[in-house]
A and B are shown apart, each in its own frame.
Chain A
Amino acid sequence: MTAISSESIHIGTEDAPVPMWRQRTKIFMANKLAIASCVYVIVLTLACFLVPHLHPTNQTNQAVAFGTPQNTAPSSHHWLGTDSSGYDVLGRIFFGGEYSLILGFLAGFITVVVGTLYGMISGFLGGVVDTAMMRLIDAFLSIPYLFLLITLITIFGRSTTFLIAIIGFTGWWGNARIIRGDALLIRNLDYAKASTSMGANKWHVIRRHVFPNSISNIVTVATFSVADAILFLSALGFLGLGIQTPETDWGTMLQSGTSQIQNGYWWEVFPVAVVFILIVVSINYIGDALRDAFEVRLLER
């Protein structure tokens, strides 16, 4: 009996069914751009955290920096020249990148955590609570984001911690909306309803059913959030509200570089611009590829 049934299973399919996560990895790996993006993000992150220690260049001591020639073109000594304060540009890209990346990842992480919690609770509870919670989101979404950031930064100051907190705790509204839609959908699916009817409490259903089933959207949202946080930080840097000197971030670097562009000092703008645009594009590509990988319709059935 057992022998027959096991044999009959093997008639249709040659191999055992491929586990879902492996299929997803396969879809992700098939996307060459996403792989390249992953490599870029990892290499750049490692470089930003290691290069300033392995090959230290002066990036903080203004007195020493003013001793070195300013705005010099790339040479064997300064591979990407020096900026208007005499800092080595290549070293500064990594040095500023450290702040941009830490801020982007932490702030993005906060927006995802807060947005997920809020969206899950709102979508799962439904009814009046959901309506009220979503109208609150509507209210926040109709305040222009940059206006709000500027106001908050003038109020709370702009230490690194506050910048992370401000971007993190104001960027989650869109995320909450997406996750809420998911929670609402899953709540009404049969398995979640069955669980509720068998007496599971709400928290259990959220934890065991809603959260695991919306994880794909959460991960995708997370990648876009990190990219957005990095972008917003750069806008703040341009408005002069970014990280304060002598520390720097890519936005602040771009701002000071672009003020020199009319003098033809291209090395102060384009290298950091390319690094910056590539990281935001890469993170977005990774997000896209993740979304494809999680898309059930693309899985082999």
Chain B
Amino acid sequence: MQSAFVLAIIIVVTFTLPYFQPHGIYAPAYTALGSHINALNVHTWAQQHGLTQSYFVRLLKYADQLIFHFNLGHSFKQSLSVNSIIALYVPRTVWLALSALIFTTVIAIPLGIFQASRRNTVIDYAATGTAFVLYAMPAFLLCILVIDAFGFHWPHLPISPPSGVAPWAIFTDPKAFILPVGCLTLLSVAGLSRFMRGTVLEVLVQDYVRTARAKGCSSRRVLWRHAFRNALGPIVTILGLSIPGLFGGALIIEDVFNYSGLGVQTINAAVTLDVPTVLGITVLVAVFTLLGNLMADVALGLIDPRIRIEGAR
């Protein structure tokens, strides 16, 4: 119910934004028509793309098509529907983002716990310092340094994933994806491990941890049975929330590694004022995020029995 409300806001906001550009929603006509620009041509073009109707009629039509027919309209620039553009490029980006998300979780959570348990040691300082530098480093800079290192100084890994739009490329040619997925992972590990370290530290000062230690639990058992399980909640929430960030990161990664996915499509569409494509992709990512949050909520219920009981009532 609340997700539907959020989705409605997103649709209205993204739908309304193009009205504010110079020339309003007719702006794409000016770039499309080039030197043939005159009032009549603009009007014909607008009519062809169904832009002459009033704002509310268009909004209702768009929402109707989107909700009841899963139809996001037709691209202004490419002779494709937005649905087919998304179908072409989404798998590529999703595999990139998903594999990075998995690696991030697998690396960042143990790292955060390890750092928290070895607080203020050299290892902790080194890991925190590295995480800080990675966090502060613009994504593209890291990618380009990596490309430079592996492409020219130690050329043993392919620096660009295969072009074309085969969605399964990540499985048929995994070696080509080591660098892009690795970069995306490194960038997200920096933030997540820091968060994990903080959360575990907060849990470690709780009374039940002290009680467990007093009862004679080994510090390892306390760390994994007590601290880890109690720190999982915030981490799952953060993972659910990190989906838009992951797509944002993928945008830069795709651009640098010359991997044509959703991010590159968005930049192109935004620069060429291909409004339906930009809208469609934005709505899609928003839906992913909402699904991510929903899954995080469900997972939270599984991890934390207190939440499940509250939900059952």
Q: Which residues of A contact B (CB under 8 A)?
A: 131, 135-136, 138-148, 150-152, 154-156, 227, 231, 234-235, 238-239, 251, 254-255, 258, 261-262, 269, 273, 276-278, 280-281, 284-285
Contact string against A for B residues 236-247, beta-carbon threshold 8 Å, 1 for contact and 0 otherwise: 000001011101
Q: What residues of chain B lie closer than 8 Å to A251, measured between beta carbons?
A: 138
The 8 Å CB contact of A150, one of B18, B139, B140, B270, is B270
Is B258 engaged at the interface, CB distance under 8 Å to the other chain?
no
Q: Once the chains bind, are B10 and A277 in contact (CB under 8 Å)? A: no
Name 17 A/B residue pairs within 8 A (Cβ), A-sorted. Answer: A143-B14, A144-B248, A144-B282, A147-B281, A147-B285, A150-B266, A150-B267, A152-B17, A154-B21, A155-B20, A235-B139, A235-B252, A262-B148, A276-B138, A277-B137, A284-B132, A284-B135
Contact B17 A142 (CB under 8 A): no
Chain B interface mostly helix, strand, loop or mixed? Answer: helix
Within the complex, what minimum Cβ distance (angstroms) separates A161 from chain B? 16
Hey, which chain A residues are within 8 Å of B136, CB to CB? 227, 231, 276-278, 280-281, 284
Specify which chain B residues have a CB less than 8 angstroms from the CB of A144 in the assembled complex.
244-245, 247-248, 251, 282, 285
> Given A142-B285, A143-B282, do A135 and B137 touch, yes or no (CB 8 Å)?
no
Interface of A, helix, strand, loop or mixed by DSSP: helix
Residues of B within 8 A of A (CB): 2, 5-7, 9-10, 13-14, 17-18, 20-21, 132-133, 135-141, 144-145, 148, 151-152, 241, 243-245, 247-248, 251-252, 255, 266-267, 270-271, 273, 278, 281-282, 285-286, 289-290, 293
B140 touches A142 (CB 8 A): no
Docked CA distance A136–B241 (Å): 15
Query: Number of A-B pairs whose CB atoms are under 8 Å?
Result: 124
Tell me whether B141 and A146 are in contact (CB under 8 A): no
Give the residue name and chain of the B residue nearest to A150 (CB): B270
A131 to B140, CA, bound (A): 37
- Select which of B244, B270, B273 is within 8 A of A142 by beta carbon: B244
The answer to whether B10 touches A139, judged by C-beta atoms less than 8 angstroms apart, is yes
**Most interface-central of B13, B138, B241 (chain A CB within 10 A):** B138
Nearest to A283 among chain B residues (CB) is B136
CB distance from A24 to the nearest CB of B (A): 20
B136, B289, B290 — most chain A CB neighbours (10 Å): B136
The reply to whether B270 and A154 contact each other, CB–CB distance below 8 Å, is yes
> Which residues of B lie under 8 Å from residue A142 when comparing CB positions?
6, 10, 243-244, 285-286, 289-290, 293
Contacting residues, chain B, for A152 (C-beta < 8 A): 17
Smallest CB-CB separation from B287: which chain A residue?
A142
